[in-house]
Structures are given as C-alpha cells and as structure tokens.
Amino acid sequence: MKKISLLLMASGIVLFSSCKKWLDVQPNSQVKESELFKTESGFKEALAGTYTILTEDALYGKELTYGMMGVLSHEWASFPAAYVDDGNYNYTVTATQARIDGIWSSMYKALSNANNILENIEAHSVFSGDNYKIIKGEALALRAFIHFDLLRCFGASYTVNASQPAIPYVTEYTAKQTAQLSVGAVTEKILADLLAAKELLKVDPVFTGRVVSEQNDNGYLMNRQLHLNYYAVEGLLARLYLYMGNYEQARISAQAVVNSGKFSFSTQANLIGGIDLCGAPEHLFALQITNLSQSAVNYLSQEGSGVFSLNQGMLLSYYENTIDYRYLYWFVAGENASANSSYLVKYTETDNDDSYYKNKLSVLKIAEMYYILAECDNNDHVSTLSHLNPVRKARGVEQLTIEPVDFRSYMTAEYRREFIGEGQLFYYYKRLNRSVIPESDKDLVALKAYIFPLPVSEMQAADRASNR
C-alpha cells in the first residue's frame, strides 16, 4: 500500500511530455513514496499517474463512456453480445458483475493515488511558483470527481433517497476500512472538496489569464483542459448542485463557466476538415488517451469486432434535423453488408498533426453548462431560449423562437444527441428517476437498475449495508 507502481508513473509521462527530468527507478520497478515526494517532479508524476488510471478501459477509456454506460442508457442499436445482460440490468451475471467490480476497484485505486499526494504535500517544501496550490487543488478535485461518479454509479439518486447507505468516502492513504456513508453525507464531502479545490485553483492560469509557455517550468501549466482546472471544478460544482436539486447554486456555477469566455464550440470548418471531431475547445475537462483512436477502430467502426453502433433508423430518430452538424459529421455510414449501420467517429484519428485535437475524450464540456442553465431557468419558469439557442447555433440548427412545448422531452432528446458515446445519458435518466427510457422495455426503477450492487468482496470483507 505504501508504494506506487512505476507503470503509472511511466504512463503519466504522456500527459506531461514537456517535463524533461524524471526520477531514477529502483531495480524492483517501484518507487517508495519517501523518494517519490522528495522532489516537485515526483508530485507531478504522482498526479499524472492518477489521471492515467482514469484512462483505463475499465473507466473512461471505454466502460464509463461508450461501453457499459452506453449500453445501460440504450444509446446503441447494436453492441457486443457480452453486454446483453448489461442492457437487461442483470447485474449479478458474471461478465456484468466483473465490469462493475472493475469500475469500483479502478476508481478506488485512483483515489488511493490522490490521497497519497494529499497526505504528503504538506510535509515537503519542494514547490516552485503556484505549483503547490495547483497540485493540491487538482488532487482534491480528483478526489471529489471520482467519488461523485462512484456515487452516481453505486448510490441512490440524491433527490430520491439521500439517507440511503452508499459508498465510503476515502480521505486517507491507508489499508484501514473506511466507514460507508449515506448518499447525502457523501455529497457533502464531495462539495467540501470541490470548494476547497476551487479556492486553491484561483491561481490557475486558465482563471488568472497568465500566459504559460514551454519556458515556464517546462510548460507544466499548459494544456489546462487536460487537468481538473479552475473552470472544470466550477463545472463540476454546477453538475453536483443540479444533482442535489439546488438550482440557485447550479445556475451560479454554470453561468460563471459560460461568462468566462474560455470555452468555444468546434467550428463547422474544423468538423468538415476532420480536424476537430472531439470538440477540443469545448472541453472543460478531457482525458488524453494515447490509444483512443485505435480503440475507436476496434469498438466503434465497421473494421472492429464487438462494435457499438447505431442503425440508420435510430440515427434519424436522434437527429430529426439532418442539417445538424452532429448528424453530418459525428457519424459515418457502413458499407456493403453494414450499409444500414452508422458508426460514431468522435474518437477517430484527426486529419491534423496538432496534438490539441488528438486522442481527447470529453468528461465535462460547455454544452452541459448551457443545459444546466436551461434546467435551472425552466424550474423557475424563466425563458430557456438564451441557453438552448447557443448550442443549437453551434450545431448548425435553426434558433428556437418559442419555448419547447415539452421542455423535458426536448432536453432528453438533446442529451441523447449531444452526449452520445460520452457516458452522461444514464446519469441524466437516473437524476430524473425515469422508470422508462427510450429503446428499453424495462422498468429501471423497479429493477433498481440505477444503483450498481457493491462488489461481493466488499460486502463480505467490510460488512457493508445494502446500497440498494
């Protein structure tokens, strides 16, 4: 427990390729924490390693985006046979249970790394410039972000039953058992960590406007969208407050992100040219996954085996307006025997050598902030057009002149269009506690489908209360 695998250190180098000097390694391929945290570069590597865990296939590299989450929300017309039980919410079947257990174990592994950083950061005066505040702020934000998505997987919906037992909120780097907390108690701890992170990250260049180049600390504070930066934390606060039903605070946080002017929509020219299919300038927070384009070939294209795809009928049901840029540029039609299939190309290799557009997977983006603002205003019976139309304009769709007749149906359709392959649709349905969702004949509430069962080993070894 008191060591960090160098595999994570090495893979973390990808995220911080501008850093030229790395710790020497011991012959047994592990670095003791006493050595790791002797230098600022050690803290940077540990932080990079934490982000790298999140890119694994068990997490955002596949299952928490287009894989398991896509199947649970019935985004796909076709998916690998191994996911059939996922789509029927049979969580005790071996393959499905293994995916759920993989999410649990990998997320807590990432939390262990974040907590190790936080436990050591006060004891070492090795930081230059603003790096102490930024590294600590990111580690706190990571801890909150990871627990939040664990809660969205393994906890009851906050507005349904905030007192239901949920998950442990781990704040120590230790092998000791951590007490299981209720949904409400976990939420309060997430909020506290995000607020603390936000305060620390007020020195973040993305917030202050300070220009950073390769000459500044080897460019360490460049590419802030690949880190939980100040505005990513503000966006997470907006997402959390909406999850809690706190519309006033959700509006404040979402508006702060929109008003910052730091995030713009991908242009039609870049979409046509295949330069920016992932929407890089839209990302508040994204993960750069080195094998993302190859995974897109393997799992999201006609060339792959075990592929997630739509058919033409389902694609047209998503995008009623065929001038929608998302319809025109995010999908390609299959050929020959697969002519009726449509394949998502958000994550394919770009036709541009600029690394800014390569291998990026959105975790939090500007469109969600506009949707949160629309939900908040709709809740207060205020016009939503000023929030819905910027996204419509960015997607090449005509502007609305009157409010949607059925706001909830409109938002559901938009979430299906906008977040396909990004893993957010299932959480949207869960927040609303929807019994019936499009493309499924199951009653998700009756099946308790919105709450993953805790791993059997966790129930047995830690004597947890049922979270369902």
Q: Tell me, yes or no, whether 18 lies in a domain.
A: no
The CATH number assigned to the domain holding 119 equals 1.25.40.390
Q: What is the pTM of this model?
A: 0.92
Q: Tell me, yes or no, whether 1 lies in a domain.
A: no
pLDDT at 387: 98
Place of tokens 């809740």: 379
d(CA 337, CA 28): 52
Q: Tell me, yes or no, whether 21 lies in a domain.
A: no
Q: Is the Cα dihedral 59, 65, 66, 69 positive or negative?
A: positive
Percent above pLDDT 70 for the chain: 93
Which residues have CB under 8 Å from 215's CB, separation 6+?
none
Identity of the residue numbered 169: Y
pLDDT at 374: 98
d(CA 211, CA 437): 46
Going by C-alpha positions, the residue among 346, 318, 314 that lies closest to residue 421 is 346
277-287 pLDDT, tens per residue? 999 999 999 99
CB 243 within 8 A of CB 158: yes
The list of the chain residues with pLDDT below 50 reads: 1-30
Strand partners, 31: 4
Q: Which domain holds residue 347?
A: 37-462
CA distances from 424 to 40, 75, 166, 225, 283 (A): 35, 11, 20, 19, 14
CA distances from 436 to 74, 85, 442 (A): 11, 17, 7
d(CA 276, CA 139): 29
Which residues have CB under 8 Å from 373's CB, separation 6+?
251, 254, 255, 258, 384, 387
Going by C-alpha positions, the residue among 100, 105, 101, 134 that lies closest to residue 117 is 134
Pairing status of strand 30-32 against strand 3-5: antiparallel
CB 233 within 8 A of CB 227: no
Tokens of 372: 């949160």
Torsion of CA 103, 104, 106, 108, to 10 degrees: 150
Q: Label residues 412-426 b or e (16+ Cβ within 10 Å = b).
A: bbbbbbbbbbbbbbb
Q: SS3 for 97?
A: helix
Beta strands in 174-330 (DSSP E): 180-182, 283-288, 310-311
Q: Tell me, yes or no, whether 133 lies in a domain.
A: yes
Q: Is the Cα dihedral 141, 143, 146, 147 positive or negative?
A: negative
d(CA 444, CA 450): 7
Tokens of 76: 């796909």
Contacts 24+ apart (CB under 8 A), 227-230: 227/51, 227/138, 227/285, 228/137, 228/138, 228/141, 228/142, 228/145, 228/197, 228/285, 229/138, 229/201, 229/204, 229/284, 229/285, 230/198, 230/201, 230/202, 230/204, 230/206
CB 231 within 8 A of CB 206: yes
Place of tokens 């050929």: 335
pLDDT at 32: 62
Tokens of 342: 């449509």
Residue 284 backbone dihedrals phi, psi, to 5 degrees: -75, -40
What is the count of structural domains for the chain?
Answer: 1
Which residues have CB under 8 Å from 141's CB, separation 6+?
193, 194, 197, 201, 228, 232, 233, 236
Q: Tell me, yes or no, whether 30 lies in a domain.
A: no
Q: Tell me, yes or no, whether 29 lies in a domain.
A: no
pLDDT at 218: 92
Tokens of 89: 């919410």
Q: Tell me, yes or no, whether 31 lies in a domain.
A: no
pLDDT at 13: 33
Q: SS3 for 142?
A: helix
Q: Tell me, yes or no, whether 12 lies in a domain.
A: no
Tokens of 408: 């909830």
d(CA 263, CA 252): 17
